[in-house]
Structure 1
Amino acid sequence: MSKRILFMNTGTGWGGVEKWHYDTALALQKRGYKIFVLGIKDEMFYNKCKEAGLTVANIEHIGDVTFINPFRLYWLVKYLKKNSIDAIFFCQSSHFKYGSLAAKLAGVESIIYRRALAKPIKNKFYNRWLLKYCVTDFMSISEVTRDENLKKIPNDYLAQEKIKLIYKGVKKDKFINPKIISNLREEFGIEDDELIIGNVGRLCRQKAQQYLIEALPIVLKEIDRIRVLLVGGSNDREKLYRKKVKELGLEDKVIFTGFREDIPSILKQLDFMVHTAIYEGGAPWVILEAMMAGVPIVTTDATTIPEFVTDGVNGYLAKNKDPDDIAKNILKMINNSERDKLGQKSAEIAREKFSFEKMVDEIEEKILNK
């Protein structure tokens, strides 16, 4: 009899955690597991899982103190027992407290806390207790994330054999030879002799596209034939960036594309990508996707990024929050006549270490079938 696996997520948007739960649940179902999903009814995650044919049930929002609510605890224990759940996956801190305690009480065999945020777990007595006595597997998505997560937790509260390093995975077929949805040069009037530089990610404080904008005047003093695409949706942040672009006289150089669903197509048409995030929670999707697509990368050295991009090997690392150094590395990439080799090396690394198939294989090998 195949194992019965539950994914629990009460996200109200569609971010990296929701995407991971959705893709992984579908992949495991295709491999013969019986999949259950708990989500908030009529939110995007719930609806997409239901449309995909997964067994979905409604759950109320999970807060930081939900785990001490006896009625909520009883409900989840009852649900887990009724559906004979063998393994449960959750990601958020509040879900860890609620889900691990309920799963332990229900006798669930595998209780997996996948943490994708590079911040320490608070050294609270209940966190230590839950890690030691309830969680069976602590799943980290990068070495830096793992070390940050556990730096405040005494070693004797989480056995080494429980800690599993399993990187996020990108679907190879989606990025290696994508269908070109729109020709970027035709769509945005980019000349054949102009380089296309892309920044992909929502326009927000974390992704910090202002450092790329501030670096451009320095670049343009030496090389003029470039166009920069800022690919991502936003609210107020786009207004600030448009204002800065106008102040610096860059209106004919910077293109705001808005939110796009054809990212594989866009990546394949870039000469290289510039990523200026000031921090990353774990393994940034866009870095892994660009690597899989074979795109050369200039990126800041923020948080976890040096774990994926090695300076001079598969891209260039610039100092965080430093427009001058970002400009210096953009120019280095432009002037590198063999920059495609950096992209090829990225693709080799991604296909060996960061494929979606490898991630699912490791979940089976290290957690579900250990």
Structure 2
Amino acid sequence: MRFLFVGTHPENTGAATHFVALAQALVESGHDVDAILRPDTLIWQGLAYSGVRCRPGFFRNALDPRGYATVRRQIAEARPDWIVGNFGKEYWPLVLIGRALGIPVALFRHRTPPMKRLSALLLPRLASRFFAVSQHARQAYLDRGIPAQRVQVLYNPVNASLFRPDADAGAAMRASLGIPDDAIVLGYVGRMHTGKGVFPLLEAASAAMRREPRLYCLWVGDGPDAARLQALAAADTGVGSRHRFAGWNNHTADYFRSLSMLAFPSIATETFGRVSIEAQACGVPVLASDIGGVPETLADGESGRLLPPGDVAAWCEAILALCNDATRQHMGSTAREFVLQHFATHVIAREFVVQLQPAAAGQASAGLDRLGATSG
């Protein structure tokens, strides 16, 4: 199949990572993929040498005529079977172009509503396929009255060749951070703000560290509460020296490899939880809040544990339980296999193509003939 991906938003988020991973997965599966991207963004950098044909372009807003012109020119050149969009600013332009030309459009929504109410009501009905990235997110649309058949689920893919166990790389990262190679390392990777549950995690981690002298805590990320979090950790004279703050880095694989376990402690609802599957792909078990779409990212009791959000005592005991070497190593091996079965790029690419198959035959060719007539 031939795909045109449109992702001109400059954001550096899970939606951008999803866009890159899915486009790469389709190329690796033998499909043709063109992409209209804003240059010098994370998406452009991620796809520049992937086999995806990248073209510059962007939408300043949903009515930007230059954005429409760029998409139409690329459609005329690439003749795609499907147009794929990931970002809210481009939903309406892609739906309007697709319907005008008879080319099916697949839209991904990485957040639960709210969109503007009219968009939330109409876009799932007007797009040929409207994908939520978790069952939790899908339910939010059904609760708004969207017919069940109009919202499908396709999970975030993870590149299991990039995110994989590598003991040497993990040891090198620990050494660079001043963490002993025989330490047990609890990690947090993501934004640092109250809704992410970082303050209850700090309390639970420090309590566990006082009982387990081998335990260290590595914080990878930034955010509005990062400075306060770091100050609180440093003020704990008992274990403060075993907290490490690495700041943010777009290349997280080696950080995951340095961990013994990952904490995903959100107290605000999460749509999904990409860091959970990335960590598990690296053979790292996950302790995660039982909230929103997070439970869909792990096998509770097998590749990790689901815990009550914000319950410091429960989190402390779970951290200490994973300080047991045999328990942790078994869960880590299970975690890798769980991701390979459910979230690997080739698995998600295959499922994506399967979910597109019922599209009406001939829609794209009819639209492209009309485009050729108008642009000739």
- Same fold, TM-score > 0.5, yes or no: yes
Q: How far did residue 217 of structure 1 move?
A: 3.4
| Number of residue pairs the alignment of both structures matches | 355
Q: Distance in 2 between matches of 1:73 and 1:173?
A: 34
Identify unmatched segments of 5+ residues in structure 2. Answer: 360-376
Q: Distance in 1 between matches of 2:174 and 2:30?
A: 44
Distance 1:226 1:77, change over 3 A: closer
Q: Distance in 2 between matches of 1:48 and 1:261?
A: 11
Q: Distance in 2 between matches of 1:51 and 1:348?
A: 28
> Which residue in the other structure is 2:53 paired with?
54
After superposition, the CA RMSD in angstroms is 2.9
Q: Distance in 2 between matches of 1:122 and 1:295?
A: 38
Instruction: Report which stretch shifted further, 281-290 or 334-343.
Output: 334-343
> Which residue in the other structure is 1:140 paired with?
132
Does residue 1:302 correspond to 2:291, yes or no?
yes
> Which residue in the other structure is 2:180 paired with?
191
2:321 to 328, 332, 335: 332
Q: Distance in 2 between matches of 1:128 and 1:145?
A: 15
Contact 2:57 2:70 in 1 (8 A): no
> Which residue in the other structure is 1:87 paired with?
82
> Which residue in the other structure is 1:227 paired with?
216
- SS where residue 303 of structure 1 aligns? coil
* Alignment of structure 1 residues 158-237 onto 2, 5 Å: 160=149, 162-178=150-166, 180-181=168-169, 183-232=172-221, 234=222, 236-237=224-225
TM-score, structure 1 as length reference: 0.84
Highest relative contact order (Cα 8 Å, sep 6+), 1 or 2? 2
Aligned letter for 1:28? L
Q: Distance in 2 between matches of 1:72 and 1:128?
A: 27
Q: Distance in 1 between matches of 2:40 and 2:249?
A: 23
1:314 to 303, 327, 334: 303
Instruction: Report which stretch shifted further, 274-283 or 345-354.
Output: 274-283
Aligned letter for 2:101? A
> Which residue in the other structure is 2:37 paired with?
39
1:49-96 CA distance string (max 9 Å, x none): 45656231312323xxx2xx4956863674465343331111233322
Distance 1:55 1:338, change over 3 A: closer
Q: Distance in 1 between matches of 2:67 and 2:54?
A: 21
Q: How far did residue 359 of structure 1 move?
A: 0.6
Q: How far did residue 242 of structure 1 move?
A: 1.5
Contact 1:49 1:56 in 2 (8 A): no
Q: How far did residue 166 of structure 1 move?
A: 1.9
TM-score, structure 2 as length reference: 0.82
- SS where residue 312 of structure 1 aligns? coil
Distance 1:73 1:106, change over 3 A: farther
Contact 2:36 2:71 in 1 (8 A): no
- SS where residue 158 of structure 2 aligns? coil
Q: How far did residue 244 of structure 1 move?
A: 1.1
Contact 2:16 2:43 in 1 (8 A): yes
Q: How far did residue 38 of structure 1 move?
A: 2.4
Contact 1:200 1:286 in 2 (8 A): yes
Q: How far did residue 137 of structure 1 move?
A: 0.9
Identify unmatched segments of 5+ residues in structure 1. Answer: none
> Which residue in the other structure is 2:98 paired with?
103
- SS where residue 175 of structure 1 aligns? coil
